[in-house]
Amino acid sequence: MTDAIIIGAGTNGMACAYRLAKAGHKVTLLEASPTPGGGAARAEFAPGYTVPALAHLTPTLDPRVVTAMDLARHGLGYATTDLATTALSADGNHRRVQGGMADGPDAAAWAALTDRLTRYANALAPFRAMTPPVLAGKGNEWGKLARLAYGLRTMGKAQFRDFLRVILTNAADVAEDELTDDLLRGLFAFDATLGAWAGPRSPNTLILMLNRLSLGPLSLPRGGPAAVADAMAGALIAAGVAVRSNARVARIDTVGHCATGVTLDTGETLAAPLIVSAIGPRTTFRSLVGPRPLDTGFHAAAGHIRARGAAAKLHLALTGTPDFRGADLRTRLVIAPSVNTVENAFNPGKYGGVPTHPVMEIVIPSAHEQGYAPEGHHVLSAIVQFAPHAPADVDTARAAMLENTLATLETHAPGLRSLIAHAEMLMPSDIEARFGLDGGNWHGAELSVEQMLFLRPLMQAAQYATPIPGLWLAGAGSHPGGWITGTPGWNAAGAILKGAA
């Protein structure tokens, strides 16, 4: 008899399911797609060509999840950890970057900046593992926050001051203050805004860079990020979690204010006293719960959760090996030649337009290991920014986005277009439809200062609990946000178990 239903078998839903199952719950995990994984999935987008369907790299997975679920035993291995980056230049004068090491005129400045920001990021990292504190009313947790703040303060007076100075600035200012090399400035601006609905000159973008640095270096699991999902699924089976695919939840059922179960789109109903939603919070409240059991203010606020996707996903099937003017294809290739290129790529999307010169992160999984494409062929996976989140006509926008992206690629890899056997461009709305991420946003709800920590996704639902007793949140829309980490799901399970105790 199931006593906990989890909606959405992304990495967060799976991490949450595992922790609840290990604590004695009988867990059923419901996934709308044919396979679990969410953003960590693979897809054969053309006959014989397979790509990471959404995420194509992973940051360092939450070590609590890796250890508890024993993912290595369930088959998780890496093609490469600490993946290097090549900041591509159209003239072949690329920069290779690995952590704090970069070549070119800014090597020392890059090392100093990386070191400084990594220290700030590490000081913020403990926030990721905590349930956001409640600061009002009885049993408030200022103490918990104060302890973390004290941890920040121990970095020393001068550094703490600098930390406070930069934390809410924008990425472009920092890049321009600290670096002179346009390629590295562009890379910094790109990385800070990857997955965000923000340009490098938008306020509060540096903190996104810190969040990213706190996640550690990027890795490519053997078999792509889907391998993480495969290993988690293996751990779930061993833990006795019932995983049901092709089970799309149409409604969260309530009696009075309390969640009592779910109804699938087939009409089938499943009852359980504990319902955990690991999908987008806006969809959870506005579509699955609906207004009746929610207070007006909360329901309206849930509708105002910002979730604008700006990252498009490009998949190319290539009949040969592309040549990015000599760049190492076993690195992450970034086309973002200056801060202003990134900023200019962001601007049109605000008005529903497509950038003429999009910026992008390219991974060629088939350069790392076999199995993605026929012998001698390659697949190219790119996250292309910035796609309009609300174009007037998505088909026109998609075609323009594809054309502008291919033109940009051709500039950096002459002859690439002649190698293309098949191309697929996923716009934010496609990503929303396929992966259930609200707005096609990478985090299911924008990760921005006004939607962080105890404001994520909403002040009234920031501790994973919701106003509906029995209903909890566990997705990337909750603290600390997206990327393939498992952290929100793991944290949520902790809050649920503590709440039940």
For the bound state, the minimum distance from the C-beta of residue 390 to other proteins, rounded and expressed in Å, comes to 19
Which region, judged by CB under 8 A, interacts with other proteins, from 57-65, 94-102, 203-211, 283-291?
A: 283-291
Cβ proximity to other proteins, 472 vs 483, nearer residue: 472
Cis bond upstream, residue 488 (ω within 30):
no
Per-residue tokens: 46: 């053309």
Per-residue tokens: 47: 């006959």
Binding mask 348-387 for other proteins (x = CB under 8 A): ----------------------------------------
* Rounded distance between C-alpha atoms, residue 378 and residue 367, angstroms: 7
Residue type, 86: T
Residues 6+ apart with CB under 8 A from 68: 18, 19, 22
Residues in binding contact with other proteins, number by CB under 8 A: 17
> Can residue 410 be called a binding residue for other proteins (CB under 8 A)?
no
For the bound state, the minimum distance from the C-beta of residue 140 to other proteins, rounded and expressed in Å, comes to 15
For the bound state, the minimum distance from the C-beta of residue 254 to other proteins, rounded and expressed in Å, comes to 8
For the bound state, the minimum distance from the C-beta of residue 194 to other proteins, rounded and expressed in Å, comes to 33
Single out the residue of 369, 325, 392, 349 nearest to residue 87, CA to CA.
Answer: 325
For the bound state, the minimum distance from the C-beta of residue 137 to other proteins, rounded and expressed in Å, comes to 11
Residue type, 443: H
**Exposure string for 101-134, b = 16+ CB within 10 A, e = fewer:** ebbbebbebbeebbebbbebbebbbebbebbbbb
CA angle 411, 417, 421 (to 5 degrees): 155
Q: What are phi and psi of 275, to 5 degrees?
A: -120, 130
For the bound state, the minimum distance from the C-beta of residue 259 to other proteins, rounded and expressed in Å, comes to 12
- Coil, strand, or helix at residue 254? strand
* Rounded distance between C-alpha atoms, residue 285 and residue 303, angstroms: 8
Cβ proximity to other proteins, 58 vs 260, nearer residue: 260
Binding mask 287-326 for other proteins (x = CB under 8 A): ---xxxxxxxxxxx--x-----------------------
- Residue holding tokens 């299911």? 444
Binding mask 452-471 for other proteins (x = CB under 8 A): --------x------x----
Cβ proximity to other proteins, 82 vs 295, nearer residue: 295
For the bound state, the minimum distance from the C-beta of residue 289 to other proteins, rounded and expressed in Å, comes to 10
Which region, judged by CB under 8 A, interacts with other proteins, from 286-294, 344-352, 370-378, 487-495?
A: 286-294
> Can residue 286 be called a binding residue for other proteins (CB under 8 A)?
yes
User: Footprint of other proteins on this chain (CB under 8 A)?
Assistant: 256-257, 286, 290-300, 303, 460, 467
